[in-house]
Amino acid sequence: MNRQQLKQLDALFEREIQEERIKGASLLVEHKGKREFKNVYGSDREDSIYKVFSMTKPITTTAIMMLYERGLVDLFDPVSKYLEGYGHMQVATTKGLVDAKEPITLKHLLNMTSGLVYPGTESEPERIMEDLYRELHEKAVKGAGMSNLDIINALGSVPLLFHPGEAWHYGISADVIGGVVEVVTGVTYGEFLKNEIFEPLEMRDTGFYVKEEEYHRLAQMYSRIDEKGHLREADEKAYAGLNMYAPTKPPYIESAGGGLYSTLEDYSHFVQMLAAKGSFHGKRLLGRKTVEYISQSQLTDAQAKTIYFDSLEGYSYGNLMRIMTDPAKAGSNGSIGEYGWDGLPGTYFFVDPEEELMLVYMQQIEQGADQVLRRKMRQIIYAALDE
């Protein structure tokens, strides 16, 4: 790669810091298995620990596909085979609740076509989920002693937004996969990740909470204070809203959809494994064909039409990740087939199989990514490909 071109990344972040739109960030770029660029900006440090939120999801894909490769699950299995709370799903319609036309399958969960929702206010299922989340949180705070499986089964009582397979909607599907992994393996989700993924990938600082002695490494969270994107340090209310009020305590649920903390280096090991088609330093986690499968679009044309994320313009979706299908729509000089995902505070990664290229980026901003900054990073990196 043209390393002189990659220095434009430093210039980009210097401008962002000068204009107070970034106060801390880190990123690295690798090409054909060789590290071409790494830098840390502002208040962040080489070993900063970040909450990566939904960048937990591709790790969850890896977990369930490891079981898939062992013949322990089938993607067309109904979720109710593993989790009793999903045995009788209903769908909210304008005429009231109706029985789901078909069961939710593991494939529906992986593609966000299950009809399951996150808490919110825009639909009846989201409002019901909002109330249930609050109730479960209050019980946990009072020491009710609920397990992951208790909580995940309880979430199955919320009506679906649509019949499974009819559309795409971002919701709790990945968390439900975590419950399936627990049932199949007989260990907690965190134990499975530690033993089967984190230890082989040498992800020593990745987990569902931060060790007390490592708390000083937790990256500062920031909040935007105006329409220009200026930042200040996040307050206690922001941390509570992000469910980060007690980062050194084991959480009451090991969220397979958004619960992990990690570092730039740790998470890069996971992305290196994907870029190397399933192996890391001679240790194979997934087969080559499985990695090819999980990095392909899984949505029908009808499902793809219901994607509502601005960040997915020019992309389709499958296996808890985005997949580039139209560079022109995305305004990208990238490749068809580039894939990856991001996290709520703006953490982000991509793998480009055609170019053997990968990026991992970390920041902590309450309101999430600046899509303009993200596009600028990408276009600088792709412009550096000179061979």
Q: If we measure between CA atoms, which residue out of 313, 354, 346 comes closest to residue 27? A: 346
Q: Is the pLDDT of residue 143 over 90?
A: no
Tens digits of per-residue pLDDT, 126-139? 999 999 999 998 99
As a whole number of angstroms, the distance between CA 173 and CA 54 comes to 12
pTM: 0.97
At 252, the amino acid letter reads Y
Give the pLDDT of residue 315.
98
* E runs forming strands in the chain: 24-31, 34-42, 49-53, 90-93, 96-99, 222-224, 231-233, 260-263, 279-280, 283-284, 315-318, 321-324, 339-342, 348-352, 357-363
Average pLDDT, the chain: 97
Domains with residue ranges and CATH for the chain: 3-55+209-250+258-383 (3.40.710.10), 68-190 (3.40.710.10)
Using pLDDT thresholds of 50, 70 and 90, give the confidence band for residue 141: confident
Any idea what DSSP says for residue 263? E
Tens digits of per-residue pLDDT, 255-266? 999 999 999 999
Tens digits of per-residue pLDDT, 53-66? 999 999 999 999 99
Q: Is the pLDDT of residue 387 over 80?
A: no
Question: Average pLDDT of 19-31?
Answer: 98
Q: How far is CA 283 from the centre of its chain?
A: 23
Question: Average pLDDT of 204-230?
Answer: 97
- Residue 155 burial (10 A CB sphere; 0-12, 13-18, 19+): buried
Q: Is the pLDDT of residue 353 over 80?
A: yes
Give the pLDDT of residue 201.
98
Give the pLDDT of residue 254.
96
Question: Average pLDDT of 142-150?
Answer: 89
At 141, the amino acid letter reads V
Give the pLDDT of residue 335.
97
Look-up: residue for tokens 């220009």?
A: 228
Give the pLDDT of residue 111.
98
Taking phi first (over 0 means left), then psi (-120 to 50 degrees means alpha), and beta for anything else, what does residue 337 get?
left
Q: How many other β-carbons are positioned within 10 Å of the β-carbon of residue 237?
A: 11
Question: Average pLDDT of 311-325?
Answer: 97
Question: Average pLDDT of 362-378?
Answer: 97
Q: Is the pLDDT of residue 207 over 90?
A: yes
Query: How many residues appear in the chain?
Result: 387
Rg of the chain over CA atoms, in angstroms?
20
Give the pLDDT of residue 349.
98
